[in-house]
Amino acid sequence: MATTARRGPYFCGIDAAMDVVAGKWKSLILWELHHHGTRRFAELRRGLPGVSEKMLIQHLREMEEDGLVHREVYRQVPPKVEYSLTEDGVSLNAALAPLGDWGNRRMQRIGAEKVTVDAAGATPR
C-alpha cells in the first residue's frame, strides 16, 4: 500500500484511480507489460519510444509503490531486473480497456495515424 504524501484525499473513485495513472507513460507501461509480459528495463524503454530513462525509472518506482508493478532483482553478474504486472496492475489494465477501445474509435474517426513499435523504435503505420 502506498504511503507517500501525494495520496488523497480524493473526491471520488475516478480521482483515486487517476492518481495512480497520472503522467503520459504510466498507462503505456501498463499496456506494454500487459501485451508483452515480463520485461527488462531496456525492453520496456525500447517498447516506449520517446520516454527518457529518468522518467521511466521514476514511473516504475511509483507504480511499484502503488502495487501495480512487481520488480524482481536477480542477484547475478551482470545484475538482472525484470518488471511484471501485479494483480492490481492486471485489474487496472482491465479497467482501462474500455478507455482504449474508445481511443481506437476516436483515432479511426479523426483519421489519426497509429504508431507501431519494433526493435528499431517507433514508426508511423
6-65 pLDDT, tens digit each: 577 888 998 889 989 988 899 999 999 999 999 999 999 999 999 999 999 999 999 999
CATH code at position 62:
1.10.10.10
Give me the residue label for grid cell 500500500.
Answer: 1
Residue 28's domain comprises 13-93+107-124
Q: Which residues contact 95 (CB under 8 A, 6 or more apart)?
A: 17
What sign does the dihedral 54-101-15-83 (CA atoms) show? negative
Number of neighbouring beta carbons within 10 Å of residue 51: 18
Give the orientation angle of helix 24-36 with respect to helix 53-65, to 10 degrees. 80
Instruction: Please report the pLDDT score of residue 3 as a whole number.
Output: 45
The reply to whether 69 falls in a domain is: yes
The reply to whether 98 falls in a domain is: no
Q: Which three cell numbers stand for residue 50?
A: 520517446
pLDDT tens readout for residues 59-118: 999 999 999 999 999 999 988 999 999 999 999 999 999 999 999 999 999 998 887 776
